[in-house]
Amino acid sequence: MKTAAALFVCLLLAGSAFAKEAAPLAQDPATEKRMIDITSELRCLVCQNESLAASQAELANDLREEVRKLIKQGKTDDEVKDYLVVRYGDFVLYRPPVKSTTWLLWGGPFLLLAVGIAALIAYLRRRSGRVAVTAELSEEDKKRAEALLKEPQ
């Protein structure tokens, strides 16, 4: 069902750019494994919520084929990723690089954490201040409290 839905979305998005599956070039399991390792970290541009490894979009087929070729040419994983980034941008990477445009993306959660901790500290300080004030009893209050405690049950 999920696959059918994904296929349908792909069809819609691809503007009918869809065709039968290309015959896999690599019969060699090592290449295939590396290809899958690399493409699982990459986003398919046609079905944006699918990885390049999982997508059935035609472009994903072409790109997997391209990755196989690059692996056979002896390219490293990073070189293969760069090849795709040069063409499709950082958007294809599920782990975007840390740079000036993405610092908020990477740092944002820590920033929120810092804000949360600061708010918590401020709240706790305010509360302990309040407790300290109410803890001071006057002589009269103390006597009254003692009297109450001594009272038979």
Site for other proteins in 94-153 (CB under 8 A): none
User: Binding to other proteins by residue 42, rule CB under 8 A?
Assistant: no
Q: Considering only the stretches 19-27, 30-38, 131-139, 145-153, report the one whose residues sit in contact with other proteins under the rule CB under 8 A.
A: 19-27
Which residues, 6+ apart, have CB-to-CB distance to 43 below 8 Å? 50, 51, 52, 91, 92, 93, 94
User: Binding to other proteins by residue 54, rule CB under 8 A?
Assistant: no
Q: Give the shortest CB-57-to-other proteins separation in angstroms.
A: 9
Q: Quick one: which of 58, 93, 96, 106 contacts other proteins (CB under 8 A)?
A: 58
DSSP letter at 129? H
What b/e readout covers 5-34, taking b as 16+ CB neighbours within 10 angstroms?
ebeebbeeeeeeeeeeeeeeebeeeebbeb
DSSP letter at 92? G
Site string for other proteins, 71-90 (x = CB under 8 A): --------------xxxxxx
Alpha-carbon gap, residue 108 to 114, rounded angstroms: 10
Q: Quick one: which of 17, 111, 114, 117 contacts other proteins (CB under 8 A)?
A: 17
Report the interface residues with other proteins, using CB under 8 A: 13-20, 23, 45-46, 48, 58-59, 62-63, 66, 85-91
